Amino acid sequence: MGIYKKYLPLLLGAAIAAGIFIGSKLNFTDTSDKIFAANSKKDKLNKLIDYIDYEYVDQVNTDSIVDVAVNGILENLDPHSVYIPADQYQETADDMRGNFVGIGISFYIYKDTLAVIRTIKDGPAEKAGIKAGDRILYADGRKIFGDSIHRDSITKYLKGAKNSKVTLKVFRPDNQRKGEEDLLSFKLKRKEIPLVSVDATYKINKNLGYIKVNRFSETTYDEFKAALDQLEEEGITSLVLDLRNNPGGYISTAQSIIDEFLEDDKLVLITKNKSGKVEKTYATSSGDFENGNLYVLINQNSASASEIVAGALQDNDRGTIVGRRSFGKGLVQREMSLGDGSAIRLTIARYYTPTGRSIQRPYKNGNSAYYHEYETRYENGEMESKDSIHVVDSLRFVTPKGKVVYGGGGIIPDVFVPKDTSIENETLEYISQSGFASYFVFEHLENNREKFSKFTKEEFIENFEVDENLVNEFLEYSRINDSEYSFKDHLDHLKLIIKASIAQQLFDSNTSELILNQDDAMIKKVLELEETSSTETLE
């Protein structure tokens, strides 16, 4: 199987490039002098499109040419100036706004049918009585199953204007097993559905709290603040802020979160634009967690706003950065509409951490090399040893308390945690993150929903165990046991992945993360640091 070849681990590092690196270079030539007789650069491009539109020998979709041209132009600026086509804009905008208008379901396109994984709490679907496992076949009489099914058509029929109504026809497998084969009918009113950016909030132990943030959207700060307030009410004195695999988002959101940890007037961020104008941002209001122990988890896929948070805290000697070197994005983008529903995100400034360091890594070798740097890090041994991280002495900076930090390519953690780069572990991580295990779990739940319906969340966490039979079923389903590698030393990790996937579908991401973190190397390192800190305090 190709997935088990030598470079399988690189699939994980390359994943952050998905949706960011698009387009290719475009080079048109024309012997006509008229093209170059334009009065301005803008006129030249307009004339080129007109010539193709009206004079070219074949019919050409000039809209697609414009899209490729825009991509080509932006690609030659920097890796983070990107074009967002009109057909992708709404989904991108929803993601950053932190909500969308719909019926409130999580679903798979399972075989040729829309299968409900679970309903969103308090959403229209849950209130109407739709259940996990239901197949939605019709929306307002329109067929949404069969060979022609695809996510765009589903989104078109299930999303809509706020308070608009939709009638769904649903097939329920449980009813079929009971001999009731009639379709169920549900009338729903579409509502705003939150796109949650705080994946998990819970206590690791009596004093240590945990918050995982997956991106920085418009709603993230409010979610984060609610999570922090909850943990403080429960008596935590230390906090883990997990920013692993967080690609970033709004700088203003990152600054608001930083504010909770820094004293007033501490420098948070420096930005510098094309004209050389420098803006400095400082902590403002009194934060709610300025004194407790703080641990920020980062890895090679923590980028942009995540690095702003980690860099601001590190440069102010606040907390401990734990993990592996972050992505290395120090460019600021602004979204600009192109008037036809599409937009661009154009780099307008560079940002610097409070000590004055830029963490943007070089991109002079092109976008492909830029987004595949994980391969270089992997091959150089950086995933396994902090000593393998290349630093430049000229980019050496010192924090107020004398800690040495470096610019030029991501945030280097204060405490390094190596990655298990064995092919077995990388394979399991790929299976977990790709959603492959989720499909297996969905099929397992289909045949055992009555059994699992008896579990409360707490009972599931404490008492449910993945037995050998289920593990063997998964090994057979995934066929990873057909490979040349042995997974016998990783069965406990595999059991956690399966259990966490079941929890995700039965309950929520919070329960899933709690289960996965039971065997997490960075969490274990934080617990060691906490124990050391506690001992030093007692002494």
CA proximity to 457, closest of 384, 514, 407: 514
Structure-block tokens of residue 479: 């066929």
Catalytic residue among 217, 300, 304, 438: 304
Determine phi and psi for 141, rounding to 5 degrees: 80, -5
Known active-site residue 304: yes
Task: Report the alpha-carbon angle 462-211-353, nearest 5.
Answer: 155
d(CA 406, CA 398) in angstroms, rounded, equals 8
282, 267 contact by CB (below 8 A):
yes
d(CA 224, CA 331) in angstroms, rounded, equals 24
Contacts of 385 (CB under 8 A, 6+ apart): 416, 418
Catalytic residue among 159, 212, 329, 419: 329
Half-sphere exposure of 78 (CA within 13 A, CB side): 17
Known active-site residue 454: no
d(CA 396, CA 318) in angstroms, rounded, equals 19
CA proximity to 260, closest of 196, 211, 304: 211
217, 95 contact by CB (below 8 A):
yes
Q: How far is CA 442 from CA 203, 226, 505, 514, in A?
A: 28, 31, 8, 20
Known active-site residue 90: no
Helices 491-506/509-516 angle, 10° precision: 170
Tell me the torsion sign for CA atoms 510, 511, 514, 515. negative
Catalytic residue among 238, 256, 333, 342: 333
CA proximity to 74, closest of 26, 142, 132, 141: 26
Active site residues: 304, 329, 333
